Structure 1
Amino acid sequence: MSFRSTRVVLTSSFAAAGLICLASSAFAHGTMTTPASRVYACFQGNPENPTNPACAAAKALAGSQAFYDWNGINQANANGNHQAVVPDGTLCSGNNPTFRGLDLNRSDWQTTPIQPDANGRFTFVFKATAPHATRDWRFFVTREGWTPGSPLRWADLQEFCTLGNTPLSADGTYRLQCPLPQRTGQHVIYNTWQRADSTEAFYTCMDVRFEGGSTPPASQWQDAGPLTARGDLPVGTVLALRVFNASGNDVERVEATLGSGETAAAQWPLVLARKVNGASQHARVGVLSNGTITPTASATGNRVYLKEGNRFQLDTRVPDPGTPSPGGDFDYVYPAGIGSYVPGQTVVKGSDGRLYACRPFPEGAWCNVNADAYRPGVGAAWRDAWVPY
């Protein structure tokens, strides 16, 4: 069953308003609005009489319903295996027949100008009509020399950014900051959003035009040495990558707290690398290939890259053994493990010493939002996410 957002909104009864809420929570999820995704650009450009010729062709092929369902390009059982469930030629539809018109090989899709900021980064904005705990956000861009209007294949894409679980902003969006690769002219940026609380994943095509500015070349990053994991770490461990200048003064500190499933020696470097690459102006962590630095799940495969003259130190702070640790009646001492909470299952110990259970889906998605308002037992909106246990 599907819902047309515009047509339902026009109904003024309270019953219809209830349907809107249910549709958003149960069926709707989101899409990129900055830059505008292909489907969202068509939705904004008059779904019934598209002004963009490519959108008009998509409507002629598959109807206008896809434009109203802009927030639902998904595969229910992806589980990170994106190339298996979304074959070449179906990337923009996510291999979802409702959206097959988005896969038309045309060069006249509406494009959005895009350029990096002074630090070579760009903030992607994803409008979330239903938030979810996230395993990863992955960003790809078509290779230099790709011809607009040609079929889109996985082999045409180069990954340039991977982020982990990201807090939902107060305006209901995810703000995803990534370094932009060097490109010229018209390209497609492709995004996958893999949920952590489900095997479901979402897919987004963005038609962009790289204009002005330039991403600092990969040569600005100097190899400062390996990020080596010498063993597993306990849940709640706080990792901090500290950057110092040539004089020994602190330049930057980026922290990551390990949750359940993130503590293995092959996993926690990936967790830290994603946090650093999403937040740092002075460091990158991962594997350098084709001008991009991409984190990998490995105890020894990641390296730290810094701007010339800087150096780094990794600080590790494990939970105090004298404080209560998870076990028995609860899974975590809040906020340890946030981003890994399972709706309807996870139990945490709050700052007030009491236990709280994460609400079932869909309300339980709010348990993973790292904001004071949802702090169990004490936040202004904690009851939206938690129930006393």
Structure 2
Amino acid sequence: MHLSHRAALALSVIAGLALSGSAFAHGTMSKPLSRVKQCHEGNPESPTNPACAAAKAIGGAQPFYDWNGINQAHANGNHQAVVPDGQLCSGGNSKFRGLDLNRNDWPTSPIRADARGRYTFEFLAPAPHATREWKFYVTRDGWKASDGLRWSDLEAFCTLGNTPLSEGGVYKLDCPLPKRSGQHIIYNTWQRSDSGEAFYTCMDVRFEGGDGVEPPPQWQDAGAVTARGALEVGSTVTLRVFNANGNDLERPETVLAAGQTAPAQWPLVLARKVNGSAQHARVGVMRNGVITPVASATENRVYLKPGNRFELETRNPGPVDPPGGDYDFVYPAGIGSYKPGETVVKGTDGKLYACRPFPEGAWCNINADAYRPGTGFAWRDAWIAY
């Protein structure tokens, strides 16, 4: 491709993004993060979360960039009439249909009530509007992600009217938090008063505390996660948690893909991995007793149960064979840059695997245990034994 053609293509892409951002910018929940915003912040071009990757395979990456536009133009409060069962997370908008996949591995946010039994939701609104009604729902007890999401699965727990916009373009919505435990969906509808347009938000949350109200916080601040520079693609970041005797309790780790190596990004990736899998640690910023990961090189902190300690370990990717060798990378080195139909890696089992041709080959760059060549339960979706 000639340079002029590349420049023209780049300008057309930028123009398209600018158009979509200005024409459809309205908003989505930022605390806890909505499903679409989770995918947007998790490397939209090559999602590291398997559910986001599956959504991208259906609708491409553009819906993640248009995270603020899940709407129905003529809802006028009749949400169940315009948003069918099974399409709640997309708001009945086919552009976002990938968000409706019935999976239990969507990224989740921890949530719990404060001492009043309440929680302050935050809705980021690049284009604010006068409001007729905010309404919040939560999935019923016994609901399972594999069952899909229907209106009958939801129980309303909070209704608010017009709310002033706070600093930073955020609506702060104070609600009583229902009693739940484990993984659930909180669903929000935002009906404008100046038109019939409404917006819809799915939030995948993990209730901490069983009855919706946590006992006094058990986590103690053990120190900061400080990124002193960028890491390489394929680097492994590990949080080693051990007790006072030096015995390891757990070692949650993550392998960095393209787009995750900047100083403000890799602590966020590690924090989400820890908070989604660890029993003895949390990473993030604590506000009102809730620990939330943030994109920052210095603000995330490690919280441990009393008496425990931690070490942060980083390991560079394995060596890359010179051109002409039998393989291109020792997996997971170079993940995020694999070429469908071309790249060959040496797996952790010592065998060689070739990245499947496009479009299946896109799964080769998914940084998840499920697609680890030769050992992940879904590795054949991405790789061919060489």
TM-score (norm: length of structure 2) = 0.49
TM-score (norm: length of structure 1) = 0.49
